[in-house]
Structures are given as structure tokens and as C-alpha cells.
Amino acid sequence: MPEMDIENEKQCVFCRAIDAMSDYMDGYKDEAQDKLVLRTSSEYGIICEKPIVAEQSAKNAKQIKDILW
């Protein structure tokens, strides 16, 4: 299966996080919604870091295997 384009993946994760927060702000404030907001926000933060991690790995690489993970 081909890897998802990072920008499309980022947009999808962002939409899920915004939807979860929107529902929370609309009054759905139970424990399950709290967890959903926290989880989707965390997922968005992680996806935003991916390009940075990849760039750092490439800059610090001494061997090809340092880039491939």
C-alpha cells in the first residue's frame, strides 16, 4: 500500500481534531469527548512534527540506513 501524501494526511487529521473540538464547544462535554479532543489534537501535533523529524534525520545522516527507518 503506498504511503499517504503527508499534506493530505495532515489535512484529514486536522479535520478530525477540529470536528472533535467543535463538538466539545457545542456542549458535548463528557469524558469520551474529552478523550477524543485530546487524542485527535495529539495526533495532529504528531503529524505536524513528521517533516521536521525527517529533515533532521537527513541532515544528521552518516549512512543511508540513518535516513531509512
The C-alpha angle 29, 32, 35, rounded to 5 degrees, equals 95
The domain locations on the chain are: 30-68
The per-residue pLDDT for 67 is 66
CB atoms within 10 A of CB 26: 9
The per-residue pLDDT for 1 is 41
The per-residue pLDDT for 3 is 55
pLDDT, tens digit (0-9, with 9 covering 90-100), for 49-68: 887 777 777 777 787 777 66
pTM over 0.85, yes/no: no
Averages of pLDDT over runs of 10 residues in the chain (69 residues) are 66 94 93 94 89 76 71
d(CA 36, CA 42): 10
d(CA 13, CA 44): 6
Nearest to 9 by CA among 69, 51, 59, 56: 51
